[in-house]
Amino acid sequence: MAEYNWPAMAERSWIGKRISRLDGPQKSGGRAKYGSDMNPAELLHGAILVSPYAHAKINSIDTSAAKASPGVTAVITIEGAGKEIQWEGTIIAAVAAETEVQARDAVRKIKVDWQVLPHLVQDDDLSKAGSRAKPAGEKIQGDPDAAKAAAAFRVSGEYGIPVLTHCCLEPHGQVIQWKGDEIVSWCSTQSVSNYAGDLGGQIEVPATAIKVHQDHIGGGFGSKFQSDQWGAFCAQLSKQSGGRPVKFFLDRNVELMIAGNRPSHYAKITLGADKEGKITLWESDSWSTGGFTGGNIPPIPYVFTKIANQRLSHNAVSTNNGPQRAWRAPNHPQASYLTCAAIDDLAAKMGKDPMEVFLANFDLTARGDAYTRQLKKAAKLIDWEANWKGRGKNRQGHIAHGLGIGVATWGGAGHDSRATARIHPDGTVELECGTQDLGTGTRTIMVQVAADTLGLPMDAIRLKIGQNAYPPSGASGGSTTAGGVSSSTRIATTDALNLLFEQLSSSLDNTPAANLEAKNGRIQVKGNPSKGMTWREACRKLASPIEALGHNNPRNPRGLNTGGAAGVQVAKVSVDTETGVVTLDKIVAVQDCGLILNPKTAESQVYGAMIMSVCGALYEERIVDELSGRMLNADMEFYKLAGAPDIGEMVVEMEIDPENDARGVIGLGEPPVISGIAAIGNAVANAIGVRVPMVPLTPRRVLDAMNGNGRIS
């Protein structure tokens, strides 16, 4: 059986190098084509009618005027008379027409008679939820009552983190054509290989009849795993329009209402500690919502899972809002915020530096050594010792400075992935895989691995991804892609190379395949580089192409990939105490991530994740109005994201060392997005001297907290 181990650190030609992403020029120059950029001949345009009410019943719907509207080729009613709608933005009907404006005109002509019903759309006040709040988890461990009585220090606080939306820049949707027995979808999906089966299931068409194309995707973040109802109704619109293709992507407002959100989490937390500062007690009453189905219990206490005595109770609140979807590291950023804020408040109560308290309690985590090492590194990088002062004690004029800590954990082992490597007699190499590049650099790392394995320059590899015609590879979610596709690529190219070696053996004095190596564009005898031939000469000896299928089986990743990433982030902020405006001065991430295939794109993942944390800590939240049931900021004007000037200095320390490297590849999408909000929230508490219970830390919440009105709201 072949050996697939990664080459030793010193012997890598492409793996582990700072390689610029291969599709960079195409993206920078606007040449990269996304599903939403496709303009096939005879294209029609879709538009939809959505519910303006959070909760309502459809008494009747009349689409006759829409059907007669100029340019219209098809109208589909999705929610008919008698249907009860549970959230604003629910799609009621869809239209296809020659032009987009014609489709929108037709939608305006659909008449719906509504019976408006009472709703609940806000979730920050549990007492207002009534019967919409349902117990969703209890846990008791150890003896919390005794621990409470015995604790030398006790601190209680309230913390809240609201619903966020994914706000993918390319909205959900597709260009789709159902002509005869074949469907082609140019979609925006995190799961190229599973899309056809999912869509086929919706419209009762065999997956084999559906072709999926996606060269690029404009953001997913966990919200684009399914073909979705728009995949289905647009396919129907196409069929009903004589098989002409239909382009439909959600408008921004509907995108923010229904195309996925991250659940809120709120908690009242009590921590107890002994007189040395060791945490002995965790008590929490938490609640959350991710829409009509409520929200799951967050993984709290986060990271510090070994706190001896715990009592948790959780309520899931059902609200009339669009449903949650996986959001980059589901539930972890919320759990990190709740946990790290409580520990930071405990440190303040004890009059101690939180750095000490975190370090003193890392033995309550699964990877205490890693966190200890990382937090010490981070402290150095932000000069914690020189910069930290007690809460509210670091003021210059009206500017208050502060430092804060957050911690993170994640799995990240590779998913089930298959890739085919094909070596042609003319020396060209094809690599095919039904994966997708979300912008993480998947293309680039696959080519790095293939080129490294085959001893070739990177431009010798012709990579094909983004179609379901290629070998199936898992959905890109949960930081599973890097491990999955790098391993399947490594296995496929290693096997293909061995097949080549076997065929060359006779030309090289019957040197056994095991004694041959591919290096610097040559096939040669190990230890005797002069005995060999160029790659092209070698391939010319092939009668027909060689092909090998590599499979990463998550149950046996053969040491190529694994899970278990740890990370810490520390933030430094300035708060204008007269305006409540928070400025992030600097944020430092220390992250382990096994074998880093490409430090450049890996760092980009961490930078991007930290910037997302800035958004979550300072700016973004879904705002819904209880009176009207409407989302008021379903736009990019008041659904606020950080801009280029808003993010301060960012420092990324990837732990690249033999020990981490030996663990194999670990995915990096989620780990760095977890702890930033906690770090920034704690830094603000340190600066202004009081806890702002709820993020994002808007001027309103900061000033309210400073004025003694720090409530969840």
Partner 1 sequence: MSSPKEQGKHKGSKGEVSRRGFLEVTSAGGAAAATVALDRPAAAQTGAQAGARIAGPGPVAITLNVNGKMLKVNVEPRETLLDTLRGPLDHTGAKRVCDRGTCGACTVMMDGKSVYSCTVLAIDAQGSKIETVEGLTADLKNDALVKAFVEHDAQQCGYCTPGFMVAAKMLLKETPKPTYAEVKAGLSGNLCRCGTYVGLRGAVLEAAQGGRA
Partner 2 sequence: MEAFAYANPASLKEAIASLGTNWEDAAILAGGTDLITLMKQYVYSPKKVVNIKGVKELKGIERTGDGGFRIGAAVTIDELLKNRILGEEFPALQMAAKGITSPQMRHMGTVGGDLCQRPRCWYFRNGFGLLALKDGKSLVAEGENQYHAILGHNGKAYFVSASSFGPALVACGAKVKISSASGVREVNAEDFFRVPTSDAEREVDLKPNEILTEIVLPVSRGTKSSTYEVRQREVFDWPLATASVMLRMSGGKVSEARIALGHVAPKPWRATAAEQAIKGQTINEETAGKAGEAAVAGAQPLSQNGYKVQLAKTAVKRALLAAKG
The footprint of partner 1 (CB under 8 A) covers: 20-21, 23-34, 36-42, 70-71, 98-101, 167-171, 216-221, 249, 251-252, 438-440, 600-601, 603-604, 607-612, 635-637, 641-645, 647, 650
CA separation (Å) from 495 to 84, 549, 575? 56, 8, 58
By beta-carbon proximity to partner 1, the closer residue of 513 and 641 is: 641
- 700 in contact with partner 2 (CB under 8 A): yes
- 628 in contact with partner 2 (CB under 8 A): yes
Contact residue for partner 2 among 578, 649, 657, 711 (CB under 8 A): 578
356 CB-side CA count, 13 A: 14
Which of partner 1, partner 2, none sits in contact with 650, Cβ below 5 to 8 A by type? Answer: partner 1
Contact residue for partner 2 among 113, 369, 625, 657 (CB under 8 A): 625
Which of partner 2, partner 1, none sits in contact with 609, Cβ below 5 to 8 A by type? Answer: partner 1
Which of partner 2, partner 1, none sits in contact with 219, Cβ below 5 to 8 A by type? Answer: partner 1
Question: Within positions 602 to 621, which residues make up the interface with partner 2, using CB under 8 A?
Answer: 618-619
By beta-carbon proximity to partner 2, the closer residue of 407 and 611 is: 611
Q: Compute the distance between CA of residue 128 and CA of residue 132 in angstroms, rounded to an integer.
A: 9
Burial of 392 (0-12, 13-18, 19+ CB in 10 A): middle
- 633 in contact with partner 2 (CB under 8 A): yes
Nearest distance from C-beta of residue 37 to partner 1, angstroms = 4
Question: Within positions 329 to 388, which residues make up the interface with partner 2, using CB under 8 A?
Answer: none
- 699 in contact with partner 2 (CB under 8 A): yes
Region at 372 (left for phi over 0; alpha for psi -120 to 50; beta for the rest): alpha
Could you identify the residue written with the tokens 């793996």? 15
- Show the binding pattern over residues 62-101: x = contacts partner 2 (CB under 8 A), - = does not: ---------------------------------------x
By beta-carbon proximity to partner 2, the closer residue of 108 and 134 is: 108
Nearest C-alpha neighbor of 195 from the set 236, 224, 237: 224
Q: Compute the distance between CA of residue 288 and CA of residue 265 in angstroms, rounded to an integer.
A: 5
Which of partner 1, partner 2, none sits in contact with 636, Cβ below 5 to 8 A by type? Answer: partner 1
Asked whether the beta carbons of 451 and 535 are under 8 A apart, the reply is no
By beta-carbon proximity to partner 2, the closer residue of 99 and 520 is: 99
By beta-carbon proximity to partner 1, the closer residue of 244 and 418 is: 244
By beta-carbon proximity to partner 1, the closer residue of 597 and 611 is: 611
Q: Compute the distance between CA of residue 711 and CA of residue 713 in angstroms, rounded to an integer.
A: 6
- 495 in contact with partner 2 (CB under 8 A): no
User: How many CB atoms within 10 Å of residue 255?
Assistant: 24
- What residues contact residue 515 under an 8 Å CB cut-off, 6+ apart? 525, 526
Nearest distance from C-beta of residue 267 to partner 2, angstroms = 23
DSSP 27: H
By beta-carbon proximity to partner 1, the closer residue of 263 and 616 is: 616
Dihedral, CA of residue 151, residue 153, residue 154 and residue 157, to nearest 10: -150
Asked whether the beta carbons of 485 and 550 are under 8 A apart, the reply is no
Which of partner 1, partner 2, none sits in contact with 627, Cβ below 5 to 8 A by type? Answer: partner 2
Contact residue for partner 2 among 381, 640, 662, 663 (CB under 8 A): 640
By beta-carbon proximity to partner 2, the closer residue of 186 and 639 is: 639
- 637 in contact with partner 2 (CB under 8 A): yes
By beta-carbon proximity to partner 2, the closer residue of 358 and 639 is: 639
Map 530-585 to HEC letters: EEEEEHHHHHHCCCCCEEEEEEEECCECCCCECCCEEEEEEEEEEEECCCCCEEEE
Nearest distance from C-beta of residue 62 to partner 2, angstroms = 20
- 580 in contact with partner 2 (CB under 8 A): yes
Which of partner 1, partner 2, none sits in contact with 40, Cβ below 5 to 8 A by type? Answer: partner 1
By beta-carbon proximity to partner 2, the closer residue of 569 and 577 is: 577
Nearest distance from C-beta of residue 253 to partner 1, angstroms = 9
Which of partner 1, partner 2, none sits in contact with 48, Cβ below 5 to 8 A by type? Answer: none
Which of partner 2, partner 1, none sits in contact with 32, Cβ below 5 to 8 A by type? Answer: partner 1
Tell me which stretch binds partner 2 (CB under 8 A): 558-566, 638-646, 653-661, 681-689. Answer: 638-646
- 638 in contact with partner 2 (CB under 8 A): yes
DSSP 285: E
Contact residue for partner 2 among 623, 650, 651, 656 (CB under 8 A): 623
Nearest distance from C-beta of residue 618 to partner 2, angstroms = 8
- 30 in contact with partner 2 (CB under 8 A): no
Q: Compute the distance between CA of residue 272 and CA of residue 77 in angstroms, rounded to an integer.
A: 57
Nearest C-alpha neighbor of 582 from the set 692, 712, 693: 692
Nearest distance from C-beta of residue 152 to partner 1, angstroms = 42
Q: What's the token pair of residue 628?
A: 């009207």
By beta-carbon proximity to partner 2, the closer residue of 533 and 623 is: 623
Asked whether the beta carbons of 166 and 290 are under 8 A apart, the reply is no
Q: Compute the distance between CA of residue 166 and CA of residue 477 in angstroms, rounded to an integer.
A: 14
Nearest distance from C-beta of residue 646 to partner 2, angstroms = 5
Which of partner 2, partner 1, none sits in contact with 698, Cβ below 5 to 8 A by type? Answer: partner 2
Nearest distance from C-beta of residue 267 to partner 1, angstroms = 27
Q: What does the buried/exposed string (b/e) look like for 590-622 if buried means 16 or more CB atoms within 10 Å of the residue's CB?
A: bbbbbbbbbeebbbbbbbbbbbbbbbbbbbbbb
CA angle 73, 76, 79 (to 5 degrees): 160
Nearest distance from C-beta of residue 98 to partner 1, angstroms = 5
Nearest C-alpha neighbor of 590 from the set 680, 668, 652, 648: 652
Nearest distance from C-beta of residue 556 to partner 2, angstroms = 48
- 320 in contact with partner 2 (CB under 8 A): no
Q: Compute the distance between CA of residue 563 and CA of residue 412 in angstroms, rounded to an integer.
A: 5
Q: What element of type H or E holds 282?
A: strand 279-288
Which of partner 2, partner 1, none sits in contact with 578, Cβ below 5 to 8 A by type? Answer: partner 2
Q: Compute the distance between CA of residue 640 and CA of residue 264 in angstroms, rounded to an integer.
A: 17
- What residues contact residue 55 under an 8 Å CB cut-off, 6+ apart? 84, 85, 86, 87, 116, 117, 118, 119, 320, 629
Q: What does the buried/exposed string (b/e) look like for 126-155 if buried means 16 or more CB atoms within 10 Å of the residue's CB?
A: beebeebbeebeeeeeeebeebbeebebbb
Tell me which stretch binds partner 2 (CB under 8 A): 149-157, 230-238, 261-269, 579-587. Answer: 579-587
By beta-carbon proximity to partner 1, the closer residue of 328 and 522 is: 328
- 118 in contact with partner 2 (CB under 8 A): no
Residue 353's Cα: distance from chain center in Å? Answer: 32
Q: Compute the distance between CA of residue 469 and CA of residue 504 in angstroms, rounded to an integer.
A: 31
Q: Percentages helix, strand, coil for the chain, rounded to the nearest 5?
A: 30, 30, 40
Nearest C-alpha neighbor of 538 from the set 566, 560, 516, 570: 516
Nearest C-alpha neighbor of 465 from the set 430, 493, 428: 430
- 180 in contact with partner 2 (CB under 8 A): no
Binding site for partner 2 (CB under 8 A): 101, 104-105, 108, 578-581, 618-619, 623, 625-628, 630, 632-633, 635, 637-638, 640, 642-646, 698-700, 703-704, 713
